[in-house]
Amino acid sequence: MQNRLLNLKNQAIALIKDIHTSKELEELRMSLLGRRGKFNDLLKELPKLRVEERQPVGRMANEVKQTLNQLIQEKQLQLNQVGPSNKFFDLTFPGKLPAIGHLHPISQAIEEITHIFERIGFTRVRYPEIDWDWYVFETLNMPEDHPARDEWETIFIDTPPHPTKGKLVLTTHTSNGQVREMERVKTPPIRMLNLGKCYRRQQDATHTVMFHQFEGLVVDKHINIPHLKGTLDYFGREFFGKGIKSRIRPFNFRFTEPSFEVDFTCTNCRGRGCRFCKSGWVEVGGAGMVHPDVLRAGKIDPTKYSGFAFGWGVERVLRLKPGLNIADIRILYNSNVKFLKQF
């Protein structure tokens, strides 16, 4: 039987070389390797062999089949490149251009947000995604017993703590850049836009463990709430479109006083109220006037300077853009090319 397999292989090699069209090649493949082909006819005789002969014959049969499949594939590639000899080919015809990619929608949103704030004097910076507890919590007026510092909320790094700055953590917000920026600039004015990745132990339709956030910080003399509100309205118009308004509601954050939750007019119903927003407004994040303790941590005198800050998720404001209708934020990270091509 081994000789018959070898003969089949040699005959097939000779026949494949003489093939000139894809149709002929497919017919040959079926006659050799199809369900009723010559190769399967030979395999039907395998159970008739003695037990000690079956293993070497079976091994040889697999090698023959792999060889024939490879030769047929190589021949098909050759036919695809050359084409039938009687087919007209215009050498001057333009070729097909390769597909050109583009930035991920989150990267596009980050660029747009950056340009919006640069136009009103903000400077984009980037501070560590892995930072000391001192910058992430302590300087932001969060005591040791604050819920945000619990291990069920924050992802801590398993490494020896710093003697004065505490443990290393994956930053839960971009607010760790506030005091770092004060230390860098030393003397206001400060107009900072900190964009980076953050990490929290949440995963659902509106949260992911890793997400992007942008942090705005303004510190100067005589900064007040109307400055904050004007900045919010400006961003809403530039990012979401004309007619979008913002509103602020009293809230409680440790690093701002007074503190606010920020809402924007719903981009679906333009404030009339719909199934998405219920009330005509959609929450985007927090803001407020910088707490005096945070200014002191950055070695800035709160009796001379004041400031405001805000921090929002890039993915959250992106999903509110008119026409996107992104119900589940996790789709931005599932590498679905069909979805990403829309952007």
Name the region of 159 (left: φ>0; alpha: ψ -120 to 50; beta: rest).
beta
How far apart CA 311 and CA 302 sit, in angstroms, is 21
Name the band, by pLDDT with cuts 50, 70 and 90, for residue 149: low
Q: What is the CA radius of gyration of the chain?
A: 33
How far apart CA 141 and CA 170 sit, in angstroms, is 18
Tokens of 134: 């001192």
Reported as a single tens digit per residue, the pLDDT across 326-340 is 777 788 888 888 888
Tokens of 185: 């600039």
Reported as a single tens digit per residue, the pLDDT across 59-100 is 888 888 888 888 888 888 888 775 445 566 677 888 888 888
Of 90-94, 168-172, 181-185, the range with the lowest mean pLDDT is 90-94
C-beta of residue 179 within 8 angstroms of C-beta of residue 194: no
| 248 backbone dihedrals φ, ψ, rounded to 5° | -120, 140
Beta bridge partners of 210: 199
Mean pLDDT of the region 252-263:
93
How far apart CA 183 and CA 298 sit, in angstroms, is 6
The confidence score (pLDDT) of residue 199 equals 92
Q: With H, G, I as helix, E, B as strand and everything else as coil, classify residue 77.
A: helix
The confidence score (pLDDT) of residue 203 equals 76
Beta bridge partners of 83: none
- Fold of the domain spanning 105-340: BirA Bifunctional Protein; domain 2 (3.30.930)
How far apart CA 264 and CA 193 sit, in angstroms, is 20
In the chain, what are the domain boundaries? 2-82, 105-340
How far apart CA 53 and CA 67 sit, in angstroms, is 22
Distance (Å) of CA 157 to CA 129, 182, 220: 12, 25, 35
Q: Shortest CA distance to 69 belongs to which of 59, 81, 77? A: 77
CA–chain centroid gap for 6, Å, is 54
Sign of CA dihedral 307, 261, 263, 152: positive
CB-hemisphere CA count at 13 Å for 321? 15
The confidence score (pLDDT) of residue 82 equals 56
C-beta of residue 216 within 8 angstroms of C-beta of residue 222: no
Sign of CA dihedral 17, 22, 26, 28: negative
pTM value > 0.75: no
Neighbours of 48 (CB within 10 A): 9
User: Beta-strand (E) ranges in the chain?
Assistant: 123-125, 130-132, 168-170, 190-199, 210-220, 246-251, 256-265, 281-290, 306-313
Mean pLDDT of the region 260-289:
84
The mean pLDDT value of the chain amounts to 86
Name the band, by pLDDT with cuts 50, 70 and 90, for residue 134: very high
How far apart CA 274 and CA 220 sit, in angstroms, is 40
Q: With H, G, I as helix, E, B as strand and everything else as coil, classify residue 222.
A: coil
With a pLDDT cut of 90, the percent of the chain lying above it is 44
Strands 123-125 and 210-220: unpaired
How far apart CA 51 and CA 1 sit, in angstroms, is 14
